Structure 1
């Protein structure tokens, strides 16, 4: 491990500002949407801005997240162009691996978006826009975070396509950031749906009791 770390400065040019900007954008995006979405869940500030229309507020956040993603991808590509290439990452095998990673990564991202829809993909749960039931089909039968892992695969595929060790380093940053985000997002989202189920069970119990009372009155 120490030998890898010792050789890293020769493979990655850490003096490039574009590298730091890319790493910053990678870390910023999930931090931003988690903070904003949790504040929305607790205060409904975005919904209030949009006149009580939670659907419009969710779409506005979705557009913002998507735009930030485009900026992040642009900064990543610019960072790679400023970095040295390495012969081990060039040639037919790395190129083939790059296209395979890009293909599978995009399949995971696009299929999960198709399954969840726009509001399901872009944190609609935090706006009170809940899905009827948990999605268990592909790609969620492969991984519980297909969008995050698919995005990570696309980052790695791009790194190999450019032949840049810095891309592999930044892919590591992507993976760490997403793994941290998963630890915050999954329990919180599960709690939102658990709360709905408790409310449904309570409402069902009240309805059942009302029927019993009505039945007794009729007797």
Structure 2
């Protein structure tokens, strides 16, 4: 036990706060600039990709930047979103490393839960990307690159938004692994931001496919005359 604690929380680092005798106001250090930067990053990413995707859908902004090739435009957006995600994750980890730890989150049981959350979350993210493909994952619908059928296999038979929920689980797993209440708080922000994004994305995406079906029905009706 002592060896595990030493590895996770070296002697040079502050000892975890005792849950029983510390106040919740001590669990998060709001004065840390790294925390504010992580908060901004978590807000920024979904706002950026929704604005970029809708600009593409309405005005073909990214396709024009890709010299008229919708696939290349989608790949460009994919690289951008992926890179921003890596940066956000790095800022998140930096932020929680600057924060106090809590002893109740540093127990072997908590560490086991952290590993389970991280593994399950990554499984949901990776399998959803595999099922959707690159263009399906990175908003190809907004470029006019539509899938033939709705994906209903795993993990979409478990949850309708496996990438968002899986990502949230990895954030929470990381927070618990490092024993950081601030990480748990940031994870709540991640979940709220993702749920808000879904309220914008799901109806819009559904309308894109509904429009295609209306066009197909109209074309079939014309051919039937």
1:119 aligns with 2:146: no
Shift of 1:49: 1.5
Q: Using the alignment, how far apart are the partners of 2:62 and 2:123 within structure 1?
A: 31
SS at match of 1:106: helix
What's the TM-score once normalised by structure 2's chain length? 0.89
Q: Using the alignment, how far apart are the partners of 2:187 and 2:39 within structure 1?
A: 9
SS at match of 1:141: coil
Q: Using the alignment, how far apart are the partners of 1:169 and 1:60 within structure 2?
A: 32
Structure 1 counterpart of 2:39:
23
Residue by residue over 1:94-138, the C-alpha shift from the partner in whole angstroms, topping out at 9 and shown as x without a partner, is: 000000000100000000000000000000000000000100011
Shift of 1:48: 1.2
Structure 2 counterpart of 1:207:
223
Q: How many residues matched?
A: 203
1:193 aligns with 2:209: yes
1:169 aligns with 2:217: no
1:102 aligns with 2:118: yes
Structure 1 counterpart of 2:7:
none
Selected match of 1:75 from 71, 88, 91: 91
Structure 2 counterpart of 1:4:
none
Largest Rg, 1 or 2 = 1
Q: Which runs of 5+ in 2 are unaligned?
A: 1-22
Shift of 1:9: 2.6
Structure 2 counterpart of 1:184:
200
Q: Using the alignment, how far apart are the partners of 1:70 and 1:120 within structure 2?
A: 20
SS at match of 1:137: coil
SS at match of 1:151: helix
Q: CA RMSD in A?
A: 0.6
1:148 aligns with 2:160: no
Structure 2 counterpart of 1:43:
59
Q: Using the alignment, how far apart are the partners of 1:155 and 1:181 within structure 2?
A: 17
SS at match of 2:210: helix
Q: Using the alignment, how far apart are the partners of 1:146 and 1:81 within structure 2?
A: 27
1:52 aligns with 2:68: yes
Residue by residue over 1:168-206, the C-alpha shift from the partner in whole angstroms, topping out at 9 and shown as x without a partner, is: 000000000000000000000000000000000001111
Shift of 1:32: 0.3
Structure in which a larger fraction of residues adopt helix: 1
Structure 2 counterpart of 1:134:
150
Q: Which runs of 5+ in 1 are unaligned?
A: 1-6, 210-219
SS at match of 1:100: helix
